[in-house]
Structure 1
Amino acid sequence: MVARLYWGRALRDFGDGFVAVLLPVYLAALGLGAFEIGLVATAALLGSAAMTLGIGWLGARHDTARLLVVAAVLMVATGLVFAGANAFPVFLFVAFAGTVNPSAGSVSIFVPLEHAVLSRSVPDERRTASFAAYSLVGALAGALGGFAAATPDLMAWAGVSQLAAIRGMFVLYAALGVGAALLYRVVPTAAGVGQTKGAPLGPSRRIVLKLAGLFSIDAFAGGFAVQSLLALWLFERFGLSLIQAGFFFLWSGVLAAFSYPVASWLAARIGLVNTMVFTHIPSSLCLIGAALVPNLDLALALLLVRSALSQMDVPTRSSYVMAVVTPPERAAAASVTSVPRSLAAAASPALAGALYATGLTAWPFIACGALKIAYDLLLLWTFRHVRPPEEQPGR
């Protein structure tokens, strides 16, 4: 079952990897400006938030495998409509109602369901390592997807126009959704699903709401530097081609991927919260530095260092949320902590697009870094004494 989840995530993160890079290029080729591209990213994140909230409520009452299959079918429809659309209102609607992911990260309606299945499949002692492996698989697939974003430029050598090639990549995204649906069809259901009564969140409500509030600060900050906008910044400030950007996002993703097992190793020694905080702060400083330096090589170097550090909080955060709630609340907790992240992240891409359109191209990244540092300090102060089971004395 765990292997099927890993393969399912690999397929959809591969698709998210190239879509996040190609989305601004595709929309710009169809005549959309930076502000409109930011609005499409905002719509995608808002839609993800709404659907994630619904998934959290349904996940306590319905077959997890069926919900995962429904989400995969939605991925298929999203790819096909994006491949054939031309009008801004259509892109805006499908971004909201579909699965397109401008951040190429863990903002997804799949996440609460996969987290609940994974956490019930392993013991406490292996939970963080399992989430690290889950994140590693997704990040490597996303890195390969980012590299695959160079495909339209490569196909130009064969006489295929860039626009036609990008449309073909969205068809590939739909095909990956078909593969994910086939994998999710065989995920078994947990005992008792469909029998839950009342609110999915119970005794852990208070701690979950505190985490959700803090995570929303982090996500709002991250929305200023989603991968689509970062790609747009690299294209326009430094004139990167799709091939060059593909190489950069490949190595960026590889560095992020191999930081996950390091995060698991580190968490076993200094704790989950400390790992989240003390790897995140340096990565934010690197992002601020990259926004300010005038040299491409130095900017890319700082961004690569950031990639090696910024995602170490992903498996540790997921593991921590699953650890501090009761097992029946896990799907709801994953949803409730994800929804504010998506809502908060949805506001900032449009703001970043507006700043970018006025010529303040460095400010979105400076704002991202500063807000993330503030979040890290608040998280450390609020949860320094709330320990998961494996960190309790005597374990």
Structure 2
Amino acid sequence: MNLQWISQDGKLLLGAKIVRTFSYGFLSVVLAIYLKLIGFNDILIGLVLTATLVNSVFFNLFSSAYADKIGRRRILVIYAVLMIMSSLIFFVTDNYVALVIAALIGTINVTGSEVGAFLSLEQALLPQTVYDAKKRNSIFAIYNAAGTFAMSAGVLLAGLPSILQNYGFDKINAIKLLFLIYASCAIVVLVIYLALSKNVEVKDNVPKSGLSLKNISPKSRGIIAKMSSLFAVDSFGGGFVIQSIVSFWFYTKFGADLSSLSYIFAIAGILTAISYMASTRIASKIGLVNTMVFTHIPSNVLLILLALAPSFSIAISLYFARMSLSQMDVPTRQSYLMGVVGENERVNAAVFTNTSRNISQAISPSLTGIIISTLSLSAPFVVGGVLKIIYDVGIFFSFRKIKPPEEL
């Protein structure tokens, strides 16, 4: 693939995305299972997963307030250091309080897709790393596809503990080794961020934004506020079906082992990555908003049907079908948002919309434990699917008439 239209900084950001999401891949599969093995009940597991999402809220707000003041590169470096620290805490202790603290201060990702502190900054930086503004949709598609392919490869590593058990490791200690690999990936991410140039910073002739909607034009303010509200609904629904919970569902309902789960999520990731590239072509024909909505609704119907799957094979088929469609709205919504706001508004736009997603998604996993305990193991899929369809309808009627520059 010819990437000459992407700057060196853009390629570095793609590299950081690949390494980071590779580590997210295996951790998202094993974390809930690991917590179950060391004695946590469903509600406590939900609380730890919630803590991994709460940290994104704080760090996104911190990015918005200080990234353009003290440096975007410096903020990314700080987050990489925290990623290293949190993974090491998970490796050295199984103390509940310590693990919650690690989940709160670090960038442990358990969703199967990126929602963390790195995303908002990189999302704002990407448009200025392409030499041709018309390539904005393409850079977001490549960014997400590369990350998802890497996550799929990382998911395969979730099967490593099963192999290590054949060489004398018990299941818990075999899984713990993955936290060391996670820390190693974080060190590589840190080195990549240190190599970024000053071109990633906001230009001198562009006003520096802070953590306030007052620094954003009234038109963009309305778009960001409405989109943040709708994204909150989508992420609240999505929080019921993050990858750690889906992994736990396959493990508990059908007895799938870690090796089987690693293959399932790797294949799902490949299908998702292919869908990212397809979304760019579809969007060029029917528009970004239509692509977001008309691919997302069918995926959520499949999610609801997944809850009713009577067998392992049918469940896998429905899950693969869903993952072929469910993430096509990701690069399209990112590109759409960056296209309809000004350059100096991009960090704030990304931060506010992603923070709304993180806050709402952070609530769902703890509620999932309660729903599973009181209703059924599959009930979260139905709740999540219904909420996400409500989001789709809201996006369509709110933004179908607001076009990015290339669609005018």
2:363 counterpart of 1:362 = no
Report the counterpart of residue 19 of structure 2 in structure 1.
Answer: 11
2:222 counterpart of 1:192 = no
Contact in 1 for aligned 2:272/2:323 (Cα 8 Å): yes
Equivalent-residue separation in structure 1 for 2:263 and 2:316 (angstroms): 11
- From 181, 187, 190, the counterpart of 1:178: 187
Equivalent-residue separation in structure 2 for 1:217 and 1:195 (angstroms): 32
Report the counterpart of residue 156 of structure 1 in structure 2.
Answer: 165
Q: Which amino acid aligns with 1:53?
A: L
2:152 counterpart of 1:143 = yes
Equivalent-residue separation in structure 2 for 1:388 and 1:214 (angstroms): 19
Q: How does 1:91-106 map to 2 (within 5 A)?
A: 91-106=99-114
SS at 2:167's partner residue?
coil
Contact in 1 for aligned 2:241/2:381 (Cα 8 Å): yes
2:338 counterpart of 1:322 = yes
Equivalent-residue separation in structure 1 for 2:346 and 2:70 (angstroms): 14
Equivalent-residue separation in structure 2 for 1:310 and 1:332 (angstroms): 26
What per-residue deviation string (whole Å, max 9, x for no partner) do you get for residues 160-211 of structure 1? 2221121111011011010001111121233239972664741122211111
Report the counterpart of residue 115 of structure 2 in structure 1.
Answer: 107
Equivalent-residue separation in structure 1 for 2:264 and 2:44 (angstroms): 25
What per-residue deviation string (whole Å, max 9, x for no partner) do you get for residues 279-320 of structure 1? 000100111111112111111100001111000011001101
Report the counterpart of residue 38 of structure 1 in structure 2.
Answer: 46
- From 1, 7, 10, the counterpart of 1:2: 10
Contact in 2 for aligned 1:143/1:249 (Cα 8 Å): yes
SS at 2:324's partner residue?
helix
Report the counterpart of residue 5 of structure 2 in structure 1.
Answer: none
Report the counterpart of residue 269 of structure 2 in structure 1.
Answer: 253
2:356 counterpart of 1:347 = no
SS at 1:309's partner residue?
coil
Identify if the C-alpha distance between structure 1 residues 194 and 271 changes in structure 2 by more than 3 Å, giving closer, same or farther.
closer
Equivalent-residue separation in structure 2 for 1:76 and 1:368 (angstroms): 32
2:206 counterpart of 1:202 = no
Report the counterpart of residue 293 of structure 2 in structure 1.
Answer: 277
Equivalent-residue separation in structure 2 for 1:33 and 1:102 (angstroms): 18
Q: Which runs of 5+ in 1 are unaligned?
A: none
Equivalent-residue separation in structure 2 for 1:60 and 1:367 (angstroms): 39
Identify if the C-alpha distance between structure 1 residues 193 and 177 changes in structure 2 by more than 3 Å, giving closer, same or farther.
farther
Q: Which amino acid aligns with 1:223?
A: G
Equivalent-residue separation in structure 2 for 1:277 and 1:320 (angstroms): 13
Equivalent-residue separation in structure 1 for 2:63 and 2:206 (angstroms): 14
Report the counterpart of residue 390 of structure 1 in structure 2.
Answer: 406
Q: Which amino acid aligns with 2:204?
A: G
Equivalent-residue separation in structure 2 for 1:359 and 1:381 (angstroms): 33
What per-residue deviation string (whole Å, max 9, x for no partner) do you get for residues 205-230 of structure 1? 22111111110000000000011111
Runs of 4 or more, structure 1, over 3 Å off, are 197-201
SS at 1:294's partner residue?
coil
Task: Give, in angstroms, the shift of residue 60 of structure 1.
Answer: 2.3
User: Which of 203-212 and 277-286 deviates more?
Assistant: 203-212
Q: Which amino acid aligns with 1:31?
A: G
Structure 1-normalised TM-score?
0.97
Q: Which runs of 5+ in 2 are unaligned?
A: 1-8
Report the counterpart of residue 239 of structure 1 in structure 2.
Answer: 255
2:141 counterpart of 1:132 = yes
User: Which of 238-247 and 79-88 deviates more?
Assistant: 79-88
Q: Which amino acid aligns with 1:298?
A: I
Equivalent-residue separation in structure 2 for 1:106 and 1:86 (angstroms): 25
Q: Which amino acid aligns with 2:156?
A: F
Identify if the C-alpha distance between structure 1 residues 364 and 170 changes in structure 2 by more than 3 Å, giving closer, same or farther.
same
Identify if the C-alpha distance between structure 1 residues 292 and 197 changes in structure 2 by more than 3 Å, giving closer, same or farther.
closer
Equivalent-residue separation in structure 2 for 1:63 and 1:192 (angstroms): 12
Structure 2-normalised TM-score?
0.94
Equivalent-residue separation in structure 2 for 1:366 and 1:197 (angstroms): 40
SS at 1:210's partner residue?
helix
What per-residue deviation string (whole Å, max 9, x for no partner) do you get for residues 9-38 of structure 1? 011101111111110121111100111111
SS at 2:164's partner residue?
helix
Contact in 1 for aligned 2:209/2:345 (Cα 8 Å): no
Identity value in percent = 36
Equivalent-residue separation in structure 2 for 1:116 and 1:372 (angstroms): 25
Task: Give, in angstroms, the shift of residue 273 of structure 1.
Answer: 0.5
Identify if the C-alpha distance between structure 1 residues 130 and 197 changes in structure 2 by more than 3 Å, giving closer, same or farther.
closer
Q: Which amino acid aligns with 2:139?
A: S
SS at 1:99's partner residue?
coil
Task: Give, in angstroms, the shift of residue 124 of structure 1.
Answer: 2.9
Report the counterpart of residue 228 of structure 1 in structure 2.
Answer: 244
RMSD after superposition = 1.4
- From 216, 226, 230, the counterpart of 2:232: 216
Q: Which amino acid aligns with 2:192?
A: L
Contact in 2 for aligned 1:65/1:186 (Cα 8 Å): no
Equivalent-residue separation in structure 2 for 1:312 and 1:17 (angstroms): 19
Q: How does 1:54-69 map to 2 (within 5 A)?
A: 54-69=62-77
Equivalent-residue separation in structure 2 for 1:4 and 1:153 (angstroms): 34
Identify if the C-alpha distance between structure 1 residues 7 and 197 changes in structure 2 by more than 3 Å, giving closer, same or farther.
closer
What per-residue deviation string (whole Å, max 9, x for no partner) do you get for residues 47-99 of structure 1? 11111111122222222111111111111111101111211111112112211
